[in-house]
Chain A
Amino acid sequence: MAGTLPADSKSWRERRDAGLSDSIMRRTIGNVTRRFSTGQRQVFTGYAEEILAREAAVMAKRHAIRDLDILLPLLRETVQAHGGQTYLAGDAKEAVAVVVNIAQTRGVQRVIKTKSMLTEEIELNKALQAVGLSVVETDLGEYIIQRAHETPSHILAPAAHKSRVQIETLFRDDACERGITPPTSDNAESLTLYARQRLRDEFLHADMGITGGNFAVAETGTVVLITNEGNADMVTTLPRILVSVVGIEKILDTWDALGTIIQQPAMNGIGQRLSSYTTFLSGPRRDGMVEGPDEWHLVLVDNGRTTLRGTEFEDVLSCIRCGACLNVCPVFRQVGGHAYGSVYTGPIGIVETPLLTDWTILPELPTVACTVCHACGEACPMEIDLPHHIIQLRQEKVRRHLVTSGVTRSYRWWAKLWATPGGYRRSLRLARWGQRLYLRQGKLHDAPGIAHGWFLSRNMPPIASETFHEWWLKNRKGGSS
């Protein structure tokens, strides 16, 4: 069954142009992505153990996806054996209904969350707020965009598009609403200090914590969370109810497999050997303990993931959300995350968005947001063949008649002409004749049909009055081809 994802209703052209004209976002995304991708290259230098571990991690993820039918029941069994409760949600609607029901039946009023792409995917905050609950994101970047009513622009740096001045305004408004002291200035230290104090109050008064999960180990019934801020440590230990919403593709079979993969998100995402905090959750609070929740609920979410199993796209389910593919993508670096219109952005978003939703949203992504430079394929630690998948999706798009007939006809005509040397020569003669309409001061300024887009931001030299082929035919010895 296909899943559902939220989508921006604006056209690609509007989203793209908004991204290209947002100088703050472009500067910050440029800095962040360059730092992260440089960090990824440097952290593996001379670290042979983790190069080998990465290879083992790829195998572990592939096996786990293949054995999902066995591992899902095993994970549920081990979690339940430790006193946790588990749920399997087929789609976003089911997952949301489970979490809302847990909150309502337990008298929850205040909810705190860790960063989770899956909860963005299922629009959990909106559903919880609709039933009157207060929901606060505790990752600083997520908190900023929640205040701004926006979506993340980068998997690991969700507020990378916001400037300090914009953040200060958001925090001042927040302080005014709550009658508390606002940040003292717009420097990053003051803004972070404000968030620390503001969110500490939320941590201490929340009834329910919601987390995602980087990994879920079937053998031990453990959910693993990785943060640099430490907010997951508070969300998992302070509220009385804890809900972990985890995609079924996050399952690993064994504890040993976890050992091979645990450093990979930080190494490939931000260039650190390990994030500051890695939090392991294997059950609710036990007798004699004072930390941890009274109840732990694990909601495992499918939402279109099983439709990828057994297909040529199965490796996509190995994604560890490190963001390495975003950091090296030249399109992402220019337009930023919001231009994609999906929760999942960059190369992995181009592939996942149509696959998880059976092409019901944003079918333009594989065509418009990739230059097929293959940088993402080289950067992906899980060896997901993203460039190949994007090309496959372009082919699938044509098969599904999701490309306009004008574009399809243009490419067919082009392909037919260039299939033979004679056709190629005829096309050049035709273009040389036609280009006169678009020539100004010795440059081509526009072209008809599908070529028009190339000239939106650049001019091109005209087709030579005599090409090398033509010169060769005239001048080579014997004078004939």
Chain B
Amino acid sequence: MATQAIRPVRKLDERHLARQRWARAGWVYGAMLALAVFFIGPFYVAFLGSLKDNPLEWPFRYSFAQTQPKNWAAAWRLGQLGAGNPWTGGFAPGAEIPFQISYFLEEGQEPEPPTVTVPTRRAGAGLGAIFDEVQAAQYAQVSEVQEVNRRPAVVGGRPGQIVTYAFTIRYPKGDATANQPTVPRLPLDVEAPRGQQYYAATLDPNRLERRGRVASWDSVTPGFFGYVFRNYVRVFNEARDPNTGASFFLRWTANSFFVSLAVVLTTLLFASLGGYALARMYLPGKNYLFAFIVFSMTVPSQATFISNYLVLRDLGLLGSLWGMIVWSAVGAGAVFIMKQFFESIPREIEEAALMDGATPVTTFFRIILPMAAPALGALTILTFQGMWNEFFKAAVVLSGQQASYTLPLGLSFFRSAYGVAGDWGLMLASAFLSMIPIIILFVVFQRYFVEGVSTSALKG
């Protein structure tokens, strides 16, 4: 719209033209803002989804329990009360948690106090099922439920009243010899007779079950993170190695860093050596070699992976991160970029060095490589990003060895482990967590990303 609007308007006066220019800039910014929403919007709504108890709820809400400051404050305070830990909560000896819940009753219905229980909750599916959690049900004592308040109200157009009940959950402190662990969470079920409609509570429940009759909390002492970033905390807590108990997700992150950094190092070294030789040194048949390298870049990796898989198998590198590193040690694309770069720098400098009698090896490491810093920077970023995101090679080499997974494979593992149960909160949370390092890298080095793409592509 904006571009079409610029016409040679010779008869318009200056004031008109200035007005047009300003308005045009406004429209362009508007368009760019709309595009930014288009590219970032999906990630924003997915992030909202990752905070929800049920990311697939219908209709989609932008405002829900986890986004409400009221619940943030309550979660913080309850975490503090439960175990003196406002961040991740818990349930420690001596804790005393006052709790209130309100129900709406239509006119003519007699209020009846709900039944409060601290249930035994074991994860039934996914990796959480592996570990026997200490259960709060063993230690918690629920006081009698008392009605504290009644007030008339109209909800959804129906007249009636709102009745509030209060109760306290205690963790009685035994004598010093008693073995009383701090329990990680305090689940709660509050069941009301049919017809009483849940209205509000100290902390909003994670879900309403049995058609609204049971309000259910995963923990009423969650702490801020435990409530708002519940799914994110679960990524670390649930996905653990059954033999060692170590967090899978941290392990995968470390693996991803290890593989990416190792490949960056080998690529920088081998690609700059190779690129320099191709750009500057005398070698018969060099052009044919270069043409062949370019050809190799167009052959899909699916056409060569079978043999590579077998080679790595014979080397005993399957299921090992080293297998990934060896397979990706240096790519034709990286050599290509370095060759292009070395061709663009002036020849005189190295010739002077060679005149002084330095060998090509010293010249290369002392003079050429330091000059190549910008190209190496771009190559580092591209290689790191490529390896961090690499899925195909990981799927071929690391399949089945959970402790050696990299993050992309870990995500696909979560997808299959939690997909059947439709546990989208955990899958989305793990996807966002896996993005953090690459986002940081991108924000810091965005120039390199953007330049790396356009230069390497245009020179091809």
Pairing of A with B: no
